[in-house]
């Protein structure tokens, strides 16, 4: 069986890296295609995990719209499919790359494996366009690799056959374990050295990220206002690796710039971000991946969205949905810093770090 893995963003690359490693270790024939949807951030992950793409579409353009990006991916991916002639394409998550690459494969009669299938908010506008992407991918997929039984049940309710659904855990936990091992083995780079010199060890660290399109404008502004107020406390410091999207950067720097307790930095490499999560007392984010990773590090997350498809983390107590509300964000931040949660003995609902090997074993059995 010939397998093609196709991805284009940093989160996809992080979650695909353990799968690539497992395919290699199991001596399966595979090739890697990247679209370059997030060029700079993608390359950092490829370097860290020593992944060399067989095909690089290099599609990133300045302030690119979803329609133009989709058209480019569909056209260029079709060329790669004709050249690589895979029996199975693996896509991950809910990005434009994942949906359009799956569509291109479907049109060519190529089987599709969807890693991280079954996540749902049931609100097509939150997250946008990710919720639509993941639902659309599910209509054309052959193998559904779901992180949890919640995701499995979502698919069953949509009429997906049970024998096509496989619960594997989320491969982001595999990637996190790989990164932790490297860091504990002494891995360091100039960026990490700079971060270690930047932070005050005597202050509690709040780590912030924000990139969802649904948050552009008013939502992001509310979050930033809340952060600026909270930064007046003398016992905290905030570090915010600001996404490269111009709409995000303009608003963040306008509200949070030039505050002594707030460090606005460029996006950091994956190992640096894992290190920052390890140092943080609280994480504030709209990222799905962080909601999955934080439980392994026993860190609470305030989710700056109105809905989350990672309900398992909320139920386990790791995540709290605060929306794009300055008032709610401030209230929950006060609670967490005054009464830090104790996660001793609480397991990460997203897996134990063996997801990639489980996916590969399933693929091998299907090909037997």
Q: What are 257's strand-pairing partners? A: none
DSSP annotation of 232 reads T
Here the tokens at position 127 are: 């997250």
- Confirm whether 116 is a catalytic residue: yes
* Catalytic option among 120, 211, 263, 310: 211
Q: Is 29 helix (H, G, I), strand (E, B) or coil?
A: strand
* Residue 213 annotated in active site: yes
Of 276, 310, 255, whose CA–CA distance to 208 is shortest? 276
47 among known catalytic residues: no
**Helix (H) or strand (E) run with residue 113 in it:** strand 111-115
> Which position among 116, 174, 292, 326 bears the catalytic label?
116
- Could you give the CA distance from residue 104 to residue 132 in angstroms, rounded to a whole number? 17
Rounded-to-integer distance, Cα 298 and Cα 300, Å? 7
Q: Is 27 a catalytic residue?
A: no
Among candidate residues 10, 12, 114, 130, the one labeled active-site is 130
| Maximum Cα interatomic distance, the chain, rounded to a whole number of Å | 62
Please indicate whether residue 130 is annotated as part of the active site. yes
Query: Helix H segments across 49-157?
Result: 66-84, 96-107, 130-138, 149-157
Say which of 108, 142, 149, 213 is annotated catalytic: 213
C-alpha span between 16 and 171 (Å, rounded) = 7
- Cα radius of gyration rounded to whole Å, the chain: 20
Catalytic site positions: 94, 116, 130, 211, 213, 243
């Amino acid at each position: 069986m010939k397998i093609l893995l196709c991805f284009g963003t940093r989160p996809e690359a992080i979650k695909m890296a353990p799968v690539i490693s497992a395919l290699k270790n199991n001596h399966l024939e595979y090739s890697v295609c990247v679209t370059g949807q997030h060029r700079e951030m993608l390359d950092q992950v490829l370097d860290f995990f020593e992944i060399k793409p067989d095909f690089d579409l290099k599609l990133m353009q300045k302030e690119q719209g979803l329609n133009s990006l989709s058209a480019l991916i569909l056209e260029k991916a079709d060329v790669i499919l004709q050249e690589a002639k895979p029996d199975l394409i693996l896509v991950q998550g809910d990005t434009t790359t994942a949906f359009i690459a799956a569509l291109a494969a479907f049109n060519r009669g190529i089987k599709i494996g969807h890693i991280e299938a079954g996540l749902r908010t049931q609100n097509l506008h939150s997250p946008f366009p990710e919720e639509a992407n993941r639902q659309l991918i599910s209509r054309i997929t052959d193998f559904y690799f779901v992180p949890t039984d919640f995701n499995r049940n979502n698919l069953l309710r949509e009429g997906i056959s049970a024998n096509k659904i496989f619960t594997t855990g989320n491969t982001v936990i595999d990637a996190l374990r790989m990164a932790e091992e490297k860091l504990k083995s002494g891995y360091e780079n100039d960026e990490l050295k700079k971060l270690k010199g930047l932070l005050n060890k005597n202050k509690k660290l709040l780590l912030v990220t924000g990139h969802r399109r649904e948050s552009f404008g008013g939502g992001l502004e509310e979050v930033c206002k809340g952060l600026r107020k909270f930064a007046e406390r003398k016992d905290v410091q905030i570090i915010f690796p600001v996404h490269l999207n111009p709409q995000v950067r303009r608003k963040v720097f306008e509200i949070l710039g030039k505050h002594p307790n707030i460090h606005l930095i460029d996006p950091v490499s994956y190992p640096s971000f894992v290190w920052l999560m390890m140092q943080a007392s609280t994480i504030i984010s709209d990222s799905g991946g962080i909601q999955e990773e934080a439980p392994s590090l026993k860190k609470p997350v305030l989710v700056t969205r109105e809905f989350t498809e990672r309900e398992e983390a909320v139920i386990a107590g790791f995540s709290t949905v605060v929306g794009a509300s300055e008032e709610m964000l401030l209230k929950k931040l006060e609670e967490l810093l005054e009464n830090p949660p104790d996660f001793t003995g609480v397991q990460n609902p997203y897996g134990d770090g063996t997801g990639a090997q489980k996916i590969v074993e399933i693929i091998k059995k299907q090909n037997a």
